[in-house]
Structure 1
Amino acid sequence: MNVCPLCNGLDAWSVQCPNCRTIMEDKGKITDYLDDYSAYMDIDSMKLFDGAKQSLEENQCVHYYYCTSCMHEEVKSINE
């Protein structure tokens, strides 16, 4: 069983905003924002809807990062 090191608190990433150089906030899995119940759904099933074509096959967790200074948003694929 693969686990995301960020979701499970095993690691932390610092992602710098490309616009203002502020450290962006990790807001968790991108699929948690699909609807009110998506955070409670099966993780592997939700990978079919995360926007990354190979996330299920390559064991990646797609995280949403947000910059509170300039409101820049981006997603990063994290290896599980």
Structure 2
Amino acid sequence: MERICPVCNKLYNISIRCSKCGNLMAEKGRDDEYLDDYTANMPLENSTCCTHIFYCYKCDKMEKICINNEFM
């Protein structure tokens, strides 16, 4: 078995509320793909979680959220 990110693999969507204004934040992808060049076959750097960027369109806050990887 291997660990995979359920958000990257579209197993489910995640809803995160902005810690500043409470608005629902938009998931913008893995921090690797958002901030750097990215290829789909890049290995996960951390086997226990996958860090995703979430953005609030209401107050412009950006947060990194660690999504727990699951065994598949």
TM range (shorter): 0.7 to 0.9
Instruction: Report the equivalent of 2:48.
Output: 59
TM-score, normalising length: structure 1: 0.74
Unaligned regions of 5+ residues in structure 1, if any?
48-55
RMSD: 1.5
1:33 matched residue in structure 2: 34
Give the TM-score normalised by the residue count of structure 2: 0.81
More helix by share: 1
Structure 1 position 32, deviation (Å): 0.5
User: Paired residues, what number?
Assistant: 67
RCO (CA 8 Å, sep 6+): is it higher in 1 or 2? 2
Letter in 1 for 2:24: I
Provide runs of 4+ in structure 1 moved above 2 Å: none
Identity of aligned residues (%): 33
